[in-house]
Structure 1
Amino acid sequence: MSDIAVPDGVRIFDTTLRDGEQAPGISLDVGEKLEIAEQLARLGVDIVEAGFPVASQGDYEAVKAIAETVGTASGAPVIAALARCNTEDVERAAKALKAAHRSRLHVFVSTSEIHRRVMLRASEDQVVDQAVDAVKRALTSTGDVEFSPQDATRTDPEFLLRIVDAAVEAGATTINIPDTVGYALPHDFGELIGDIVRRVGDGAVVSVHCHNDLGLAVANSLEAIRAGARQVEVAVNGLGERAGNCSMEEVVMALATRSDLLGMPTGVRTAEIARTSRLVSTLTGYPIQFNKAVVGKNAFAHESGIHQHGVIQDRLTYEIMRAEDVGVAGSQIVLGKHS
């Protein structure tokens, strides 16, 4: 274990191409994934999780293509690939990432009692051994290894700290805490992340990956940042399993708009947000809901006469961010029943 430089701001880890594509009905080909990865690089995310290479030949080819193109460009983001804590997964992911200038292996194993009993049929000791072995194996291919204890928020806290300690001692450089089933509430999640940040210290960067089953993915991610997390995992338009992931555009603009309170900058070029959102919507076939925060059709639209009067005089009366800052042409005055 060595001291890790914790960033002054927040790293944005985009998982649109991995967890986002796991949303029911989405199936992207290699060319479509490459197009999205190129746009994510223009957007300025820090890490692009390109896929899960062992899942299929198509996923392997997509990760390899992204590593060879986006991953070799000047100023390229880190290209990451997911792997379970076993030899085949780790070696397959490492092979797919080989060409990238900066690569990350993201290894995970389930840690909650129900996952260990139903899915793994493994004891706590066995799961810890799997995690340690996978981290060490991954480190033979790259110096950047992320470890995730799946279903962390339903894992016994003492065991969670034990496996985090073991992963850091084995050399993991990022410890990612997934709220896999969207179970956490902001206050409790913040306390959990604070405990982990204090436990890890300078041994690794602490990250979070929040699902939106209770509509709290962004709130939980922001609370985690307040508690010391310095990486947040997101997906464009909040895509992902079931109710989706933490929305990239929402968490980035929350950090930008409330910098007075949060004081955690990102490297995202926010003027690229709307373009990125539209591209992902078009290629995935998932429409953007009209009232979606930041990127929805109505996000900067005003129909009520009182609101229209205020915005015409000074947009700050009813808008907390500029449409142009996210790549939208401007506010809209919509004539309707309430105008």
Structure 2
Amino acid sequence: MKHIKIFDTTLRDGQQCPGAGMSYTKNIEYAQLASKINIDILEAGFPSASAEDYKIVNHIAKMYGQQIHSPKVAALSQLRADQVKQTIKALEPLIPSGRAILHLYLPVAPELMKASLGSYANDQTQILLDIANMIHMAVSAGLAVEFSPEAYSQMGENFDFTTEVISTAIAAGAATINCPDTIGRSCYLEGDDYFVNHMNEHAAIMKRRFPNKEITWSVHCHNDFGLALDNSMRAVFQGPATQVEGCFNGIGERAGNVALEQCIMYLKTFGEQHKSQAFTSQCRTQHIRQISDFVDAHMLPRQPHWPISGDNAAKHSSGGHTNAILKNAHVYQPFKPSDVGKQISFVFGPLSGSNHAQSIIQKHGYICDHNERQPIMQFIKDFHCNRRKGLTDEEFMQAYFAYRAPIRVSAIDFEKINNERHFTMQASVFDDHQQIDFICQDSDTATTALHRYLTENFVPFNIQSYRSESKEPGRHAEAHATISIASNNEFFQGKAHDRDIESAALKALVDACNQLLIEQHYAVQIDQPSFAAVGLRD
């Protein structure tokens, strides 16, 4: 197995993306996660960019320096002596263990050289001398050096100059040559001018010039045409690259860098199938979800359908898919979700089937017999007819409880006779239409009177709390009532709303009572037969 090193630039290139910057503390937390997942190299930042960036890189270097095993740490620097010295100082804690890397870069694409370097771009002799001096300075201080000919994929007419740049870097002591597709527009359809072909050419030239030196060839691809993964993997499988650079969740400048979780799983899934050489990374893939979730929470939001680690990557809704997965968990998954720290889950939606409905109900510990699946499923779909994007389990079970509700109130009326208020509820009670009558006497509230009726005719319980509020301004706003009840140390909360505050409270009490009855009659009981319909209390 050929080890492909993973170079994580989430903290450097990733944070150069607008809106993706993190606090000092979060940078350190990320470095801890990167160590946990076992990447090979963490590019911790650009120390000379600011005092804060210097502190972050230096803190990570100190933290890793106290660990027996940790990623190496790289830090970026331009071809300037003051920046190189600052970078050496930031990485100093890792120099004794050989885990400090200076990442030096210089543009080689003609247009970029003119735009970035000005008149300096025309003095190639001085450029080569500066490369040699800067690298020698770092190597003498005990650092390893990675050199990047920036915009390598767009070098064009500068192939020979780029050859001399790379050769000078290696002669001075650079151990890694990184070949970036800086603006993300490279494609294998370019033929001979494809950057991976140029990487092969340069690798062959350097092998002839430096036969006794082991050079790591690295690839750093941006995703402007959505080709970052393809280009990175071609550089490995068809080129000389043994190191891949990118960011978790594919963040980075413009359309981002190659997504490291995709590279890692690509190598894990297809690396062993390569005809002449097997490839692998040493990353602990089970931690992918954790680091991906961290980037999603603290840097940039991740799309739900993002490959490998997105929320929907192991989530299913289609009835046909769900039915098959319930029989064989991996028939609709390209890899085991547990490999990346995820689990298969389902979202109930308009295309879901009765098997899916039954599985959710049973997962929550309630009864759904085989002959009930279809009507329950249809009721739930009708109950949430406008939720075309799918239901949470909480919303699904809300509809299930509505289906099971023993008492369904359709109307509430009352009249005052002498000093008594007589209430009448039109209701369906266990599918039998009934009129519920109760009287509010003396200082009783309507809620107290209904509570007395329910405990006498259905099930005993105590009211624990009650509150009512208006969620909108104005005197015509609806009242939203919440009532909590308790029975045998179990608690249930009923909710309802109505334009009349008293009616809202009565409906909320019925809702709470219904949940208690459902728990008694439809929750799965050990060693007790399940049943679909019950009458009043026996």
Please give the TM-score of this superposition, normalised by the length of structure 1. 0.93
Q: Which runs of 5+ in 2 are unaligned?
A: 208-212, 353-538
CA deviation map 1:95-146 (0-9, x unaligned) = 0000123111111111111122121021233332332222112112224110
Identity of matched residues, %: 34
Shift of 1:157: 2.3
Give the letter for the 1:161 counterpart: T
- 2:66 and 2:179 map into 1 onto residues whose CA distance is 29
Q: Tell me which of 40, 49, 57 is aligned to 1:55.
A: 49
Other-structure match for 1:267: 282
Give the letter for the 2:332 counterpart: Y
Other-structure match for 2:235: 224
- 1:258 and 1:81 map into 2 onto residues whose CA distance is 31
- 1:218 and 1:240 map into 2 onto residues whose CA distance is 14
| Residue 297 (1) aligns with residue 341 (2) | no
- 1:71 and 1:318 map into 2 onto residues whose CA distance is 44
Q: Tell me which of 78, 93, 106 is aligned to 1:109.
A: 106
Contact (CA 8 Å) 1:85, 1:133: kept in 2 or not?
no
Other-structure match for 1:44: 38
Counterpart mapping for 1:124-203 below 5 A? 124-155=124-155, 156-186=158-188, 188-201=194-207, 202-203=213-214
Greater Rg over alpha carbons, structure = 2
SS in 1 for 2:112: helix
CA deviation map 1:285-306 (0-9, x unaligned) = x111011001111111222223
SS in 2 for 1:317: coil
Other-structure match for 2:332: 318
Give the letter for the 2:32 counterpart: E
Greater shift, 91-100 or 299-308, is seen at 299-308
Contact (CA 8 Å) 1:19, 1:240: kept in 2 or not?
yes
Q: Which has the higher contact order (CA 8 A, sep 6+)?
A: 1
SS in 1 for 2:140: coil
Other-structure match for 1:276: 291
| Residue 207 (1) aligns with residue 218 (2) | yes
SS in 2 for 1:69: helix
Compared with structure 1, are the counterparts of its residues 151 and 163 closer, same or farther at alpha carbon in structure 2 (3 Å cutoff)? Answer: same
Shift of 1:162: 2.1
SS in 2 for 1:99: helix
| Residue 80 (1) aligns with residue 74 (2) | yes
Give the letter for the 1:185 counterpart: C
- 1:170 and 1:198 map into 2 onto residues whose CA distance is 19
Give the letter for the 1:265 counterpart: T
Counterpart mapping for 1:92-107 below 5 A? 92-100=86-94, 101=97, 102-107=99-104
SS in 1 for 2:7: strand
Q: Tell me which of 219, 241, 244 is aligned to 2:256.
A: 244
- 1:81 and 1:92 map into 2 onto residues whose CA distance is 10
SS in 2 for 1:26: coil
SS in 1 for 2:93: coil
SS in 1 for 2:279: coil
SS in 2 for 1:230: strand
Other-structure match for 2:368: none
- 2:78 and 2:66 map into 1 onto residues whose CA distance is 25
Runs of 4+ in 1 over 4 A off after TM superposition: none
| Residue 119 (1) aligns with residue 131 (2) | no
- 2:315 and 2:88 map into 1 onto residues whose CA distance is 46
> How many residues align structurally?
331
Give the letter for the 1:173 counterpart: A
CA deviation map 1:173-221 (0-9, x unaligned) = 0000111111211462332222233233344110011111111111111
CA deviation map 1:244-267 (0-9, x unaligned) = 111011110111111233421111
- 2:108 and 2:271 map into 1 onto residues whose CA distance is 35
- 1:115 and 1:167 map into 2 onto residues whose CA distance is 20
Shift of 1:270: 0.3
- 1:65 and 1:147 map into 2 onto residues whose CA distance is 24
- 1:142 and 1:44 map into 2 onto residues whose CA distance is 23
CA deviation map 1:19-40 (0-9, x unaligned) = 1111102222221111100110
Q: Which runs of 5+ in 1 are unaligned?
A: 1-6
- 2:325 and 2:272 map into 1 onto residues whose CA distance is 23
CA deviation map 1:7-26 (0-9, x unaligned) = 93100010011111111022
Other-structure match for 2:265: 253
Shift of 1:317: 2.4
Greater shift, 245-254 or 133-142, is seen at 133-142
Q: Tell me which of 9, 25, 28 is aligned to 2:3.
A: 9
Shift of 1:42: 0.4
Shift of 1:87: 0.3
Shift of 1:69: 0.6
